[in-house]
Amino acid sequence: MLKIVRAIPFFRLLAIAQTVLLVRRHVRMLDAGDRRRLAELVRRGRGMTPAEREELRGVLAKLEPRVFAATAADAFSPVHVPRWVKRRIEG
């Protein structure tokens, strides 16, 4: 594991760490039950029933994927996302 980390350039490691922290912030928006259910559904993968897939969509919607995408774009883009775009996305 350590050899892999040493082989990755520093700025790529920094980007991975920033992404992990951003994901963590959004996952923490879920309550403990939703986090647990999300993990269960993701582990099931392709074996999910249509009802479980719909439930997964509902849980993922709570994570505000549009806000996550805008935040990630703002963090990694050399050109910042305009405020009006952020306000529109955040609703």
Residue 77 has what pLDDT? 78
Cα torsion 70, 75, 80, 86 to 10°: value is 30
Residue 87 has what pLDDT? 75
Contact 38, 30 (CB under 8 A): yes
User: Could you read off the pLDDT of 20-51 as tens digits, one per residue?
Assistant: 998 898 899 899 999 999 999 999 999 999 99
User: Could you read off the pLDDT of 66-86 as tens digits, one per residue?
Assistant: 888 888 888 887 777 777 877
Amino acid at 55: E
Q: Of residues 58 and 2, which shows the higher confidence score?
A: 58
Residue 59 has what pLDDT? 94
